[in-house]
Amino acid sequence: MPAILAIAVNDLRLLARDKAALFFTLFFPLGLAVFFGAIFGGGGGGSKLDVALVLEEDGPKARAFAEALSADSSLDVVRQTDAGTPLTRDEGETLVRKGAVSACVVVPKGFGGGIESIFAGGGIKLEGYVAPGRGAEAGLLTGKLNELAFRQMASGLSDPAEMTGMLDRARSSLGGDDSIPDENRRLLTDMFDRIGEVNKTFGGLNPGAAGGGDSAGSGGWMPVQVSLTELKDESDRPRSSWEVSFPQGVVWALMGCVTGFGVSMSGERSRGTLLRLSVAPISRGQLLLGKAAACFFACLAVQALLIALAAGVFGGLMGQFRVGNPLMLAAAMMVSAIGFTGLMMLLAGLTRTEGGASGLGRGLIIVLAMIGGGSIPLFLLPGWVQTVSSISPFKWATISIEGAIWRGFTWADCALPFGVLLGCGVLGFAIGASALKPAERA
């Protein structure tokens, strides 16, 4: 074990000293991820928040609210299905679950009646759903819905005829409720009378001028109630271009590791250090495991670093990158590291010199990386290319990582890509190890 560790540590130190290898292993993939993420739109949908709107009531007040919501410049409102029918609650919820929209607002039955009976204990109630991890958007939407609902309520209060109706309904409701103590009943009747006089004198009320608009600051009486529920993620598309570009960056980082360590191992042969290692009192298995361990840890480290950067910068700060299943991502990174370590052993075993390894690495491996989703996201590639790309382990690494981030994979979905990567690792190690020994020379 100490010998394996010594070999692995030495190889990692050699990688750290090789500026070109370090650049292609870490900084180049990071630059690519940021570049492609930025040019493909970052957050994906510009600054507008995409919202599905479900009208469960078809009254004039509900329609007026829908119009006001649709007209808001900060929102992109979807009201119909692809077939042109109005969205139902289930359809709106599904759109959120699938990541098609960030949130869904439901105008429930009784919406109009709630406004009309605002002095009789009613109020505006709005419901909705938000996608997971969209706390910032949920807050923005709640504020926007409160604003629009208060505006809707204010328009009713500023209409004298509607105001008179509201007060009549309130008096009627008061009269029919025996549970209200006489003293309170007298005070409320007096208040409704005075409001009625103001309504007649000034032609309606203006609650906005009285500081209305904050449902939370009304001492328990909440004329506007917005209830948003966070849904479980079932999205099958990325929330932002970062969720595509960083898995791509990971692919290039893996390629950097494969090429860097492959070239380094071939270099051991050409500069004679493999011979010195071969005569050291260690077994061939220890030597190969030490070499493989260095590549494995490097693959794991660059993947973790890139994903952590993406999650921290584009997820934590901007809310545009989120790992759907962290445990699955860890497993995906692990099997990707195993698969690409095998690929590195194969590259080192099949080439005799650093030049050969570099040529094969930057030729064949780059092609495999490109068709495997390294340049153009897999889901944007033509069907036949996606079929051909199945020969590329980069494809399976990309799918595994995307599966854990935004594809919503189950563990059963992971079986194929994980299996391919593990197979690639074992096969590559076996072939590479058998080919990698110092040549007998006269």
Partner 1 sequence: MIEWNAVSKSFGTVRALRDFSLRIGQGEVFGLLGPNGAGKSTAIGVCLGLVRPDSGTIAIAGMGSPDDPRTRRSIGAAPQAIALYDELSGRENLRYFGRLHGLGGSTLTRRVDQVLDEVGLLPRAKDRVLGYSGGMKRRLNLAAAIVHDPPILLLDEPTAGVDPQSRNNILDMCKALSQRGKTIVYTTHYMEEAARLCTRVGIIDHGALLATGTVAHLIAEHGGESVVTITRTDGTETRVATPDPVRHAAGLIGDATVQGLRIDRADLESVFLNLTGRSLRD
Q: How far is the CB of 248 from partner 1 (least distance, A)?
A: 30
Alpha-carbon gap, residue 249 to 32, rounded angstroms: 6
Bridge partners (DSSP) of residue 50 are: 76
CB 432, CB 348: distance < 8 Å: yes
Q: Should residue 68 be labelled a site residue for partner 1 when binding is judged by CB under 8 A?
A: no
Q: Should residue 14 be labelled a site residue for partner 1 when binding is judged by CB under 8 A?
A: yes
Provide the mask over 381-420, with x wherever binding to partner 1 is found by CB under 8 A and - wherever it is not.
----------------------------------------
Q: Which of residues 60 and 441 has its CB atom nearest to partner 1 in the complex?
A: 441
Closest by CA position to 338, among listed 364, 299, 307, 304 = 299
Alpha-carbon gap, residue 185 to 322, rounded angstroms: 54
SS3 24: helix
CA end-to-end span of the chain: 34
Locate 179 and state its tokens: 């549970």
Q: Should residue 2 be labelled a site residue for partner 1 when binding is judged by CB under 8 A?
A: yes
Alpha-carbon gap, residue 18 to 5, rounded angstroms: 20
Q: Please select the residue that binds partner 1; options are 3, 174, 188, 309, rule is CB under 8 A.
A: 3
Q: Please select the residue that binds partner 1; options are 281, 383, 384, 412, rule is CB under 8 A.
A: 281
Q: Which of residues 275 and 376 has its CB atom nearest to partner 1 in the complex?
A: 275
Q: Should residue 285 be labelled a site residue for partner 1 when binding is judged by CB under 8 A?
A: no
Closest by CA position to 420, among listed 386, 397, 389 = 397
Segment contacting partner 1 by CB under 8 A, of 11-19, 45-53, 74-82, 101-109 = 11-19
Alpha-carbon gap, residue 284 to 295, rounded angstroms: 17
Q: Which of residues 294 and 371 has its CB atom nearest to partner 1 in the complex?
A: 294
Order of all β-strands in the sheet with 224-230 = 75-78, 49-55, 103-107, 124-130, 224-230
Locate 171 and state its tokens: 């008096």
Q: How far is the CB of 428 from partner 1 (least distance, A)?
A: 25
Q: Please select the residue that binds partner 1; options are 39, 172, 271, 318, rule is CB under 8 A.
A: 271
Q: Please select the residue that binds partner 1; options are 100, 275, 330, 376, rule is CB under 8 A.
A: 275
Q: How far is the CB of 379 from partner 1 (least distance, A)?
A: 41
Q: Should residue 280 be labelled a site residue for partner 1 when binding is judged by CB under 8 A?
A: yes
Q: Which of residues 156 and 260 has its CB atom nearest to partner 1 in the complex?
A: 260
DSSP secondary structure letters along 274-309: HHHHHTSSS-HHHHHHHHHHHHHHHHHHHHHHHHHH
Q: Which of residues 121 and 285 has its CB atom nearest to partner 1 in the complex?
A: 285
Q: Should residue 7 be labelled a site residue for partner 1 when binding is judged by CB under 8 A?
A: yes
Q: Should residue 10 be labelled a site residue for partner 1 when binding is judged by CB under 8 A?
A: yes
Tell me which residues touch partner 1 (CB under 8 A): 2-3, 6-7, 10, 13-14, 17-18, 271-273, 275-283, 438, 440-442
